[in-house]
Amino acid sequence: MHMIEKVRKAAVAGTFYPANQEKLERDVAVFLENSLPVEIVTRIFGIAVPHAGYTYSGGVAARAYRQVMDRDFELVVVIAPSHKIYFEEISVYNGAAYETPLGKIHVDRDSAKKLASLHPGIIYSDLGHDIDEHALEVQLPFLQQVFYDFSLLPIVMGNQDAANVEVLADALAKLLTDKKALIVASSDLSHFHRYEKAKTLDNVVVEDVARYDYAKLAGDLQKGLCEMCGAGPVLVTMKACEKLGANKAKVLLYRNSGDITGERDQVVGYMSAMFYE
């Protein structure tokens, strides 16, 4: 009996990024061309990237994607927060592929099932994936442009608390040992503050990440000294990358929407960073 494969169709093409294949390829290529490689590093284990519309945050995201271009990764793990629905678990997609206007990306189902088997809090499910969640999807056209061939492990965190961060970081470190894998954390920073206030809040994140101090970042978030909508994915990525061998962090670029639009009353912050040795 022929089974119909479950494919997560593009939900935010035409809003967050172009729906037209040629325009999308061109836009992503321009973002990447305008980003320079920053330094020679031995190995990159993970990156943190924003997830707003490409007009706003595409240039910031491209700075991180440019660093991993021409590197050999077989598996890319993308960890995103859930904006639309709340759930307690960490959801690993149980379908065959994610699709964008640039084509389908094969999901590594073996890795997905194995990851879900490592802890009861990690579920093999379409929960958080089957709606118009943009945070994971907007990363995919960049990945499709910078890597010729790779498998995807798409993860949406419902609850981003400290326990779930620990669970997922440990599980990923186990799963990815001896794999050519890249972890991608999808997160924006502060939302809807005035320009100067946003910069003050976001600078706390930038400094904590640059110092590779995830304990301080978690504490500063808890105290309200900074804001991130994907704090969980970023903390997971920092911890898992360290367990896999990363010992350095670099913040590649910080901007907020006011830098792009000139509107400074209510801005959103964006950061790209990498974790490497």
The pLDDT of residue 40 is 79
The pLDDT of residue 127 is 97
Band (258; pLDDT cuts 50, 70, 90) = very high
For the chain, the domains span: 24-276
Q: Is the pLDDT of residue 3 over 70?
A: no
Mean pLDDT value across the chain: 96
What is the token pair recorded at 19? 């729906």
Alpha-helical runs (H) found in 35-149: 54-68, 109-117, 134-137, 140-146
- Average pLDDT value for residue range 193-206: 98
Alpha-helical runs (H) found in 107-213: 109-117, 134-137, 140-146, 162-176, 195-210
Q: Is the pLDDT of residue 227 over 90?
A: yes
| Tens digits of residue pLDDT in 26-78 | 999 999 999 988 877 889 999 999 999 999 999 999 999 999 998 999 999 99
Band (150; pLDDT cuts 50, 70, 90) = very high
Residue by residue, DSSP assigns 223-248 as: TTSS--TTHHHHHHHHHHHHHHT--E
- What is 24-276's CATH number? 3.40.830.10
Band (213; pLDDT cuts 50, 70, 90) = very high
Work out the burial of residue 257: count CB atoms within 10 Å of its CB; fewer than 13 is exposed, 13-18 middle, 19 or more buried. Answer: buried
- Average pLDDT value for residue range 227-240: 98
